[in-house]
Amino acid sequence: MEQVRADGFDEFVAARWSALLHVARLLTGGDRQRAEDLVQEALVKLWFAWPKVAEQAPEAYVRTVLVRMAARSAKRRWWGERPVDQLPDRADPGDVSSTVAERSRLEGALALLTPKQRAAVVLRYYEDLPEAQVAEALGCPVGTARSHASRGVARLRQILSDAVRPVG
């Protein structure tokens, strides 16, 4: 029983790991470490809910958990980082491709939004969810979710207008 559960769970995680990590990264405004922590926590919660959720919509469950944890974690002041003597290796300037530059610009712009606005924008424009599902994931009324999304997009338009136009 436990083995069947573990097999199904592992298959799901292996199939969706990359996408979940990307969503978490967008939700955290580009913080890779925080994104990995969020995905890990959300998947641990999914493991305990797996017998109930497996046959229905495990991805929706993880998405909801991710969004709420990201909104909650944005209020934290300390993340358990500890100072180190040597800085980790950074990418050389020659490695920075246009995709990486776009991603870092997008993540930097997303980081300037409030957690709710960021979550609404990511769910609406990356996950392409309808407003009702965005509201359900955020745990707020549809009008509030719509307001978060429109304000977030307006802010992003202001920040990214110079960056997105040349790409498009």
Partner 1 sequence: MDDFERDLSRLMRDTQQHTPYEPEHRQRLHAGIRSRRRSRLLWKAGGSAVAVAGLSVGLALLPSMLTRAQPADHRPQPATSPTPSQDGGPTSDSPDPSATPTEPESSPPATTTGGSTPPGGPSTTISPTPTATASESRTTSASPTPPPSPTPTTAPPSALEETQEPSASATE
Residues that bind partner 1 (CB under 8 A): 10, 13-14, 17-19, 21-22, 26, 40-41, 43-44, 47-48, 99, 102-103, 106, 121-122, 125-126, 128, 153, 156-157, 160-161, 164-165, 167-168
The answer to whether 125 and 53 have CB atoms below 8 angstroms apart is no
Give whichever of 31 and 85 is closer to partner 1, judged by the CB atom.
Answer: 31
Question: Are 149 and 94 a contacting pair, CB within 8 Å?
Answer: no
Q: Percent helix, strand and coil across the chain, each rounded to 5?
A: 75, 0, 25
Q: How far apart, in whole angstroms, are the C-alpha atoms of residue 112 and residue 39?
A: 21
**Judged by CB, which is closer to partner 1: 16, or 68?**
16
Distance CA 27, CA 142 (A): 20
138 vs 149 by CB, closer to partner 1: 149
Quote the least distance from Cβ 40 to partner 1, whole Å: 6
Q: How far is the CB of 103 from partner 1 (least distance, A)?
A: 4
Residue 69's contacts (CB-CB under 8 Å, 6 or more residues apart) are 38, 41, 42
Nearest approach in angstroms of CB 125 to partner 1 is 4
Residue pair 137/122 in contact by the 8 Å Cβ criterion: no
Nearest distance in Å: CB 61, partner 1: 16
Using the minimum distance from each CB to partner 1, give the nearer residue, 88 or 168: 168
